[in-house]
Structure 1
Amino acid sequence: MNLTNLVGAALFAATSLIGTAALADWQPDKPINIIVPWSAGGSTDQVTRVVAPILEKALGTKIVVVNQPGASGSIGTKAALDAPRDGYTWTANAIANNATYAVTGLIKDTSIDDYEIYLHVANVPVVSVNADAPYADFGALLQAMKGGNVTVGTAGVNSSGGMALAAIKEEAEEGFDARMVTYDGGNPAVLAAASGEVVATTQLAVEQTEMIRAGRLRGLAVLSDQPLVVEGIPPIPSIKKWLPDMPIAADYFGVFIPKGAPQEVYDTVAKVWEKSVMTSPELQAYASDRGAVFAPSFGDQARALAMPVVIAEACARVTRGEAVVDPSEIGIECKAE
């Protein structure tokens, strides 16, 4: 690069920093912790580690991603809720989890209203099997699941994989008897399927694409209205080919800041989200490569986008007999059967 280009690059960088500084009404003076309540390598961890450097650069402070798994993500989430409400402890997750922990009794007296919401991608679960499994398609696997001989690895009943398996069971005919084996995160569950420790997994596409590309898993169906098309992987058909009436709601993931901090914290993060995250080529590349949907939003728009999956998951807990708190107690109304 010649001197002219170097000077131009320096001026551009300075201009960018000035622009970012102008956005930042709140100037953090110490590191911010984002608690990922799942193990390293899973869907939440992956995307948070893509977003953290973007936020770090924009806010001018260190962003520390802390993995604190356990109890379907509720342990780390509660740690974030119990931390001082000073704007320096955030959490990350699928929004349906944070919004419905109270319904399953994992965290008392909590709801979506406890957070300011900053979404980044929507994810889809995929039903995959170990490469050596004898099932040619999802229909064959579904028949085997009715025989009780299929083990399915998930990150727990409240994880995206656990909820996907429960939704499949709800839509399948009587006799569904697949056995769920739970792990501390999506990545261990996927590795268990790839190694043959379990037959299948229903975790998210972003957690499985590398293993499918490597030929260690075979994707049989995606819980989406449309087939999943990702470079380097044969198209994965929609599960509606076999379960046409199965309801589908987009599973949004994001970063959540517990309410109670100074308003300037939320306002600044919203500005940074709009300027830096919603235009991020790194996040777009991650989504495209891993089979996620690039869908950043914040505030009222994010809440509106999230509510269909929040309502679906909360009310499904009632239908399955898993609810210990009526969703209406946290502002979620379920339609009468």
Structure 2
Amino acid sequence: MSDSNTTDFTNPSTFILLGIPGLESAHVWISIPFCTMYVIVILGNFAILFIVKREPSLHEPMYYFLCMLAVTDLVLSTSTIPKILAIFWVNSREINFSACLAQMYFVHCFSAIESGIFVAMAFDRYVAICHPLRHSTILTNSLVGKIGLVIVLRGSILALPYPFLARQWTYCRTNIISHTHCENMYVVKLACGDTRISSYYGLFVLSCRIGLDVFFITVSYIQILKAIFSLPTKDARLKTFGTCGSHLCVILAFYIPTVFASLTSRFGHSLPLHFHVFIANVYLLVPPMLNPVIYGVRTKQIRDKLLQLFTNNETKVFSSGYGPQTEKVPGLHP
């Protein structure tokens, strides 16, 4: 490492990522679960995309949003994990300044997109349960496309100021980032001068991405619960609520680590640095890994299609070509 990493300089061409500070000796061991989870992210999300594309019966709003979620998870994890594994495996810590800003942008952009997708999926559940007979007329392919476009534009615009603000600061202290990737707050801390505008904007985006989105999701589920409890029988209530189970699981898997990581990075000053970094990596890797697993296990249509995909030949031999038949209720996805 050159002397420029520890002495004064102006606007470095590269940053140095330390990985998980204090746990450098365990990087190789830490890389094993990280690599395993990343493989699950790749295989699971590509499996979702393949199944939905292959099966015309799954060409519905719920599965279109699920495909958007899969693509978002792939981009979000791929923007950081390969570099993290390179740090753990071959000590490749340098990252170009522009690449660092691009990584920062992708993380914040696709995190906002993922949050917006959860709002759209909550709206789909609301229409499917509260207005089941109008589900196909309300959520048309055209409307789904427009919702997707708005979600992408919102995420892209909200994340745009992050790299622009980071680029305008003067970095005269060090170019060493005590993190596994270019997290906005850790990059801005290296800048000289008053950088409060970056902190304030980060809080604004957090309130938009989590505050507003969680509010709309909560409102949707209040209406859903009212509709569920108005059903005449317990079995009907349980069956209808079961159609929301997967969505609720992935919402919790996304927002709990997000809120925890955001709060600890701003207020958990007494916590060890490696704890902050580890939580930030959990937020980036665990939800993209869990989403396809949860939907694959809990969503009957996807589970059946996945089983048919692997047992198609055996089914033809032993059942003379008759596969399992499932009855489908429009708008409901158990």
- Structure number with the higher strand fraction is 1
Q: TM-score, normalised by structure 2?
A: 0.31
Q: Which has the larger radius of gyration?
A: 2
Larger proportion of helix: 2
